[in-house]
C-alpha cells in the first residue's frame, strides 16, 4: 500500500493514519480478544500508523491502555484482562469531527484527536454482533470488518443458517431453541432433538470460541448440556453431529468492485484423547490438542469448491473486510457449511492469518490490507 493511498483518508493535521485498536469487551471471549489485540499491536507498522490501544473492561468502560500488551497470552492459569481505570475514553463530536477524549476525575479532559479508522478486535456479543459497528456508523467513523447486519447475522448461528439456506448453501440438520420454548415445553425440545438423532452438539446461538458447547451422545446428557449453553445465551442451536473433516477458508474483501479473495483452505484435526471436538482449551490453551494443516490435503476440485463456497457465504451475509468460513468435508465428498466468523481469531498463530500466509500474504501485510479496505470504503448505507 503506497503512502499516497494511506494518506487519502487521513484526517487533516495527521502525518499518518490514526488507528484505534479496540479490544477486550463485555463478552466471555474478553481474554481471546486481548490476545488477538496483542498479536496485531505486535505486528502493526508504527512507522505507517499512529496507533491508539483502547481496551474495553468487562464492565463496559473504555480505557486507554498503556504498557506492553504484546506479551499477553492464554494459559490454564492466567487470562489477560483489561482493568477498569479512572481515566476513561469516550468518542465525542468536537468541531465537526468525532474525536477520542480521555477524562479523569477532577482533571481537564484531554483530546486525543480524530481517529481515521477503528480496528475492532472484539469477539462475541457486544462487539462482534453489530453493536460496536452500529456505534461507529452513528459516529461516521470508518472501521475494519463487517457492518451492522453482517456482524449480527454472523454472530447468530440460527439466522446465519437461515441466510445460508436462502442463498442455496448446504447446512447440516439443526433446530433452534428459544428461552420461552425451553421453559414452557422442554419435553417437546427433547423430542425434536431425538428426531435429529444423537450425537448432537448443543451450542449457545450467540457465542464464539466454542464457549458453552457440549457434545451429547444420548438423552441422559441433554439437559445438562442445555443448562451449560444457557449460561452463555438463552437462545440455543442444537446441531446433528456430522462425520467429516473440519476445513476452513479465509476470505478477504476485494478492492473496489473486485470479488472476495479466498485463501488456500486449512484443516483442523483434534488429537485423540480428552477432546471430542475443537473446544476452547484445544483452540487456545493446550498446544498439542489439535493440529492445524495449511494448505489442507484435499483434491484440487475440492479446494476450488471450498473457495467458491466461502466467497458465496461471505456475499450471502453481506460481509466486509474479513471472514473465516468453516466447513465439514464428508467421506462422500460433500461440503457442508458450519458457520462464518466475521471477526476470526487474529493472533499470528490463528488459522485465519496462517491460511493467508500459506497463500502468500503475510501477517503485517494482512493488517495493512484490512486498514486500507476500511479507509477506502464509505460510511453509512452502502
Residues making up the binding site for ATP: 193-248
Distance CA 377, CA 372 (A): 9
Q: Which residues on neighbouring strands pair with residue 100, listed in sequence order?
A: 91, 113
DSSP secondary structure string for all residues of 286-321: -TTSEEEESS----HHHHHHHHHHHHHHHHHTT--S
Angle between helices 222-230 and 186-196 (to 10 degrees): 110
Alpha carbon dihedral 251, 355, 157, 194, in 10-degree steps, equals 140
63, three cell numbers: 480505557
> Which parts are annotated binding residues?
193-248, 326, 339, 341
> Which parts are annotated binding residues for Mg(2+)?
326, 339, 341
Distance CA 138, CA 132 (A): 10
151, three cell numbers: 456482524
Contact (CB, 8 A) for 234 and 179: yes
- Going by C-alpha positions, the residue among 133, 97, 125 that lies closest to residue 113 is 97
Contact (CB, 8 A) for 289 and 74: no
Amino acid at each position: 500500500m503506497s503512502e499516497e493511498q494511506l494518506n487519502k483518508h487521513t484526517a487533516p493535521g495527521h502525518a499518518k493514519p490514526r488507528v484505534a485498536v479496540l479490544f477486550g469487551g463485555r463478552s466471555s471471549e474478553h481474554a481471546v480478544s486481548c490476545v488477538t489485540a496483542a498479536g496485531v499491536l505486535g505486528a502493526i507498522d508504527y512507522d505507517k500508523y499512529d496507533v491508539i490501544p483502547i481496551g474495553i473492561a468487562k464492565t463496559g468502560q473504555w480505557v486507554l491502555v498503556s504498557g506492553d500488551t504484546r506479551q499477553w497470552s492464554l494459559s490454564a492459569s492466567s487470562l489477560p484482562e483489561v482493568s477498569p481505570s479512572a481515566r476513561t475514553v469516550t468518542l465525542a463530536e468536537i468541531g465537526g469531527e468525532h474525536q477520542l477524549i480521555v477524562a479523569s476525575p477532577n482533571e481537564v479532559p484531554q483530546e486525543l484527536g480524530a481517529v481515521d479508522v477503528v480496528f475492532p478486535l472484539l469477539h462475541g456479543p457486544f462487539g462482534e454482533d453489530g453493536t460496536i459497528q452500529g456505534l461507529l456508523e452513528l459516529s461516521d467513523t470508518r472501521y475494519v470488518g463487517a457492518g451492522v447486519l453482517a456482524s449480527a447475522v454472523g454472530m447468530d448461528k440460527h439466522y446465519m443458517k437461515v441466510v445460508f439456506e436462502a442463498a442455496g448453501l448446504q447446512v447440516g440438520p439443526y433446530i433452534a431453541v428459544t428461552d420461552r420454548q425451553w421453559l414452557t415445553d422442554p419435553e417437546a425440545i427433547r423430542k425434536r432433538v431425538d428426531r435429529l438423532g444423537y450425537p448432537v452438539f448443543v451450542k449457545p446461538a450467540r457465542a464464539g470460541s466454542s464457549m458453552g458447547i457440549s457434545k451429547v451422545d444420548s438423552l441422559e446428557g441433554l439437559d445438562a448440556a442445555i443448562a451449560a449453553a444457557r449460561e452463555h445465551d438463552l437462545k440455543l442451536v442444537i446441531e446433528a453431529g456430522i462425520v467429516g473433516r473440519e476445513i476452513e477458508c479465509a476470505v478477504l474483501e476485494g478492492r473496489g468492485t473486485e470479488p472476495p479473495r479466498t485463501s488456500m483452505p486449512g484443516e483442523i484435526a483434534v488429537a485423540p484423547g480428552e477432546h471430542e471436538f475443537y473446544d476452547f482449551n484445544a483452540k487456545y490453551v493446550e498446544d498439542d490438542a489439535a493440529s492445524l494443516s495449511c494448505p489442507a490435503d484435499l483434491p484440487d476440485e475440492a479446494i476450488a469448491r471450498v473457495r467458491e463456497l466461502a466467497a458465496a457465504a461471505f456475499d450471502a451475509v453481506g460481509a466486509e473486510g474479513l471472514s473465516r468460513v468453516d466447513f465439514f468435508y464428508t467421506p462422500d465428498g460433500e461440503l457442508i457449511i458450519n458457520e462464518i466468523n466475521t471477526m476470526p481469531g487474529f493472533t499470528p498463530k490463528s488459522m485465519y492469518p496462517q491460511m493467508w500466509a500459506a497463500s502468500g500474504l503475510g501477517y503485517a501485510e494482512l493488517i495493512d490490507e484490512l486498514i486500507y479496505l476500511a479507509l477506502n470504503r464509505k460510511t453509512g448505507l452502502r
